[in-house]
């Protein structure tokens, strides 16, 4: 028979080992509640963080949806805006075309009015009688033009009359006599009278073409240029609404 195995005897435990064992056990017992509390705190923090992250994810998702909706709305508004811009441009083009047409019509009307007045003269500076008749106006024009311009005979006038208000805008009396517009039978005679008036420059009497109001307005805008040209010794005059400025030739007065 094989020999019996000898059993190993447990080493004897000293008092110090027992005390050390008891200390570790006590420490574990004391740490157990703290470990549980720490674990609970960690789990609570993780739970709160998870909820916050979930909330942030939801907010981001909502924001993304809102941005997508806003982008769609912006795209829609941009489409509407682009259509409005095209419509406005179309209307602007139509207005420009209408304005061009109106300008052409106004120019044609002004041209026709000037043509209808091509035999007319506008004379300023002739004294005015109270309740003056057309016949009296005509007689004054004939007499003064013959005398002041040295005409061989009185001009042949179809009709003559005063133009303008009898009073000023504030209803007070005029400080100067109203102009007289007269229509001559012959255009050449009218041109000759204008030429003589430029040469003789009769004192106190101003003889000019009678033109449409639109033409007069354009002339008034250019009056400073006309006066400056004359001050510089140049020849300046209007042909309808065009200001003509020329240098004087040697010996020309």
Strands (E) in the chain, as ranges, are 120-124, 157-162, 180-184, 206-209, 235-239, 242-246
Residues whose CB is less than 8 angstroms from the CB of residue 110 and which lie 6 or more positions away in sequence, other chains included: 212, 214, 215
pLDDT of residue 233: 87
pLDDT in tens, the chain (253 residues): 455 444 455 455 555 555 555 566 776 676 777 777 777 888 888 888 888 888 888 888 888 777 777 777 788 888 888 888 888 999 889 999 898 988 888 888 988 998 999 999 999 999 998 889 999 999 999 999 999 999 999 999 999 999 988 877 777 777 889 999 999 999 999 999 999 998 898 999 999 999 988 998 998 999 999 999 989 888 888 888 899 998 877 766 5
Angle at 175 between CA 174 and CA 181, to 5 degrees: 65
pLDDT of residue 36: 76
pLDDT of residue 189: 95
Helix (H, G, I), strand (E, B) or coil at 153: coil
SS percent in the chain: helix, strand, coil, step 5: 60, 15, 30
Distance separating alpha carbons of residues 7 and 4, to the nearest angstrom: 9
Distance separating alpha carbons of residues 144 and 205, to the nearest angstrom: 9
pLDDT of residue 1: 47
pLDDT of residue 44: 82
Distance separating alpha carbons of residues 135 and 94, to the nearest angstrom: 51
Distance separating alpha carbons of residues 121 and 206, to the nearest angstrom: 10
CA 247 to chain centre: 40
Q: What is the pTM of this model?
A: 0.57
pLDDT of residue 16: 57
Distance separating alpha carbons of residues 123 and 206, to the nearest angstrom: 6
Residues whose CB is less than 8 angstroms from the CB of residue 219 and which lie 6 or more positions away in sequence, other chains included: 211, 238, 241, 243
pLDDT of residue 151: 92
pLDDT of residue 10: 47
């Amino acid at each position: 028979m094989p020999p019996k195995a000898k059993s190993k005897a447990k080493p004897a435990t000293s008092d110090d080992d027992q005390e050390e064992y008891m200390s570790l056990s006590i420490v574990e017992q004391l740490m157990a509640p703290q470990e549980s509390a720490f674990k609970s705190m960690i789990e609570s923090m993780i739970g709160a963080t998870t909820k916050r992250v979930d909330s942030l994810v939801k907010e981001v998702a909502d924001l993304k949806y809102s941005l997508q909706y806003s982008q769609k709305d912006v795209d829609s508004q941009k489409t509407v805006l682009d259509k409005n811009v095209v419509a406005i441009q179309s209307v602007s083009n139509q207005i420009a075309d209408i304005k061009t047409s109106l300008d052409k019509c106004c120019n044609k009307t002004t041209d026709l009015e000037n043509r209808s007045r091509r035999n007319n003269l506008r004379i300023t500076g002739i004294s005015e009688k109270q309740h003056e008749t057309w016949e009296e106006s005509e007689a004054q024009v004939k007499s003064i033009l013959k005398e002041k311009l040295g005409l061989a005979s009185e001009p042949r006038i179809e009709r003559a009359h005063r133009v303008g208000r009898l009073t000023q805008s504030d209803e007070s009396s005029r400080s100067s006599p109203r102009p007289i517009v007269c229509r001559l039978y012959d255009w050449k005679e009218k041109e000759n009278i204008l030429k003589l008036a430029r040469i003789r420059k009769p004192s106190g009497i101003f003889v000019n073409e009678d033109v449409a109001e639109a033409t007069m307005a354009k002339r008034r805008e250019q009056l400073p240029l006309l006066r400056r040209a004359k001050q510089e010794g140049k020849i300046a005059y209007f042909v309808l609404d065009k200001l003509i400025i020329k240098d004087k030739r040697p010996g020309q007065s």
